[in-house]
Amino acid sequence: MNLPLFLARGVAKGGGQSISRTIIAIAVVAVAISMATMVLASALISGFKSEISVKIFGFWGHVHITEEKAANDIMLTAEYPISSQQDFYPSLEEIGPITYRDFENPFGDNTSELRTTQGGIRHIQQFILLPGIVSAFQEGERLASTEPLILKGIAPDFAWEDFGQYLIEGQRLEVVPDTTSREILISNSTAKRLRLGVGDRLDFVYFSGLREEKSRAFTVRGIYKTGLEEYDSKFALVDIKQLQGLLNWAPDQIGGFEVIVDDIDDLEAFSNYIHYDVLPQNLYADSIRNKLHELFNWLDIQDYNGIIILILVVLVAIINMMTALLILILERTNMIGTLKALGQDNWNIRKIFLYYAAFIVVVGLLLGNLIGLGLAWAQKTFGIVTLDEESYYLSVAPIKLEWITILGLNLGTFAVTLLFLVLPSYLVTKIDPVKAIRFK
């Protein structure tokens, strides 16, 4: 029989003075609030990283394959075309998980760990980027405003399943091999600035290196909105053949390829694999993380914010539990003296209060999970908390529950809290049994 556990149950059922019950209730609430805060914080941070990453990759893909001279600036792809007739296209998307060496040592230590990617390559598609000037027409009259815009030429292989979710008005572009579409897909911000709608005319002017002016007239087929205003305001989608004509390129010449992988965690592994093991010498592969490192650095900072939040709320729970445990020990001074007189050692008596504290922590964790998961469900279902999309790239606070993370938070909080409670339990060793029995 586990005597300390049995006595802890009796102490828990026996209640106590009103002040101790109040302190215990405060401790339970503190643990519950801490756990609910951790659940919500982890869900929000995971949601932010997931939603923004999906938006970026839906527009750009994961890995870019370009001519080596355009490796540092993707806009240079309009000056250095590559052929679409490559040995890896489109067979590259048939590649499944790969095994790679994780070089933690920058000098290539051969003892580095071998790892396998979670997934493979899902898709590869062609693209061309061409900057120019656009002006709008309405009812046959040119509007006074003009502005710069970058046209992204897409081919029939474009992954609409990734980008189509951002279409808010109109329809997708019909890009087929045999004909050249004269339609364009613009962002919601561009449509507002130029006062355009579906079916309106948009003129695009491109200036070549010889200052030769070339223009195309497009009809707005659809309007999209990713929420990434920095990119929405700069880009529009057109048939890739239109840009090949403006650049006087052959039908097999493109700016590059975009590669989409199954799992974002495999991004760097596949970027290196494609660059070193697949591509010919004149081509270069680079991950979108390297090209948009400022945005990804902002996402990485959210992890540090999350860690700070977790540390602070756990400290609050620990301080409240230590206070509650000290009060419980002082309240049970007479019982401690009696147990010592009956031959119980200090450690067994301390375990009684540690078991009692564990009961309190478990109740607090269960209540906190209930509150945190309930609020997370409400936010995910109803979108109660809204955001400034221009500042946060999202209109609604995103929620992504990762059950392994939540389980880790529960186990970690329970273990760390009990570990810190060992210190105040030393008060038991300072209680003299003779004086304690006489204590009223």
Largest CA distance in the chain: 103
Question: Which are the contacts of 369, defined by CB distance < 8 A and separation ≥ 6?
Answer: 35, 36, 39, 406, 410
pTM of the model: 0.76
C-alpha to C-alpha distance for 257 and 214, rounded to whole angstroms: 25
Percent of the chain clearing pLDDT 90 (strictly above):
42
pLDDT at residue 366 is higher than 90: yes
pLDDT attached to residue 195? 87
Query: To which residue do tokens 């067994």 refer?
Result: 348
pLDDT for 336: 77
Q: What Cα–Cα distance (Å) separates residue 38 from each residue in 86, 317, 333, 339, 404?
A: 49, 12, 35, 39, 13
Q: Which domains are delineated in the chain?
A: 3-54+299-438 (no CATH), 122-260 (2.40.70)
Q: What pLDDT shows up at residue 228?
A: 82
Q: Give pLDDT tens digits for 399-436.
A: 999 999 999 999 999 999 989 988 888 787 777 666 66
Please report, in angstroms and rounded to a whole number, the separation of the first and last CA atoms in the chain. Answer: 30
The Cα 196–Cα 313 span in angstroms is 50
pLDDT digits (tens, 9 = 90+) for 225-268: 988 887 888 999 999 999 999 999 999 999 999 999 988 888 88
pLDDT of residue 337: 80
Q: Map the chain to HEC letters.
A: CCHHHHHHHHHHHHCCCHHHHHHHHHHHHHHHHHHHHHHHHHHHHHHHHHHHHHHHHHHHCCEEEEEHHHCCCHHHHHCCCEECCCCCCCHHHHCCCCEEEECCCCCCCCCCEEEECCCCEEEEEEEEEEEEEEEEEECCEEEEEEEEEEEEEECCCCCHHHHHHHEEEECCCCCCCCCCCCEEEEEHHHHHHHCCCCCCEEEEEEECCCCCEEEEEEEEEEEECCCCHHHHCCEEEEEHHHHHHHCCCCCCEECEEEEEECCHHHHHHHHHHHHHHHCCCCEEEEEHHHHCHHHHHHHHHHHHHHHHHHHHHHHHHHHHHHHHHHHHHHHCHHHHHHHHHCCCCHHHHHHHHHHHHHHHHHHHHHHHHHHHHHHHHHHHHHCCCECCHHHHCCCECCCCCCHHHHHHHHHHHHHHHHHHHCCHHHHHHHCCHHHHHHCC
Q: What is the mean pLDDT of residues 332-340?
A: 78
pLDDT tens for residues 309-319?
A: 888 888 988 88
Amino acid identity for residue 159 in this structure: A
Computed over every residue of the chain, the mean pLDDT equals 85
| Distance (Å, whole) CA 223 – CA 237 | 10
Does the pLDDT at position 72 exceed 90?
no
The residue type of 338 is: T
Q: Categorize the per-residue pLDDT at 279 as very low, low, confident or very high, splitting at 50, 70 and 90.
A: very high
Token pair in block for residue 154: 């897409």
What integer is the mean pLDDT of 295-306? 78
CA-to-CA distance for 329 and 333, rounded, in angstroms? Answer: 6
Reported as a single tens digit per residue, the pLDDT across 102-135 is 655 445 455 567 888 989 999 999 999 999 999 8
Q: Are 186 and 236 in contact (CB under 8 A)?
A: yes
Contacts of 73 (CB under 8 A, 6+ apart): none
What's the pLDDT score for residue 306? 82
Nearest to 62, CA basis, from 131, 128, 120, 129: 120
pLDDT at 4 over 90: no
Model pLDDT, residue 222: 95
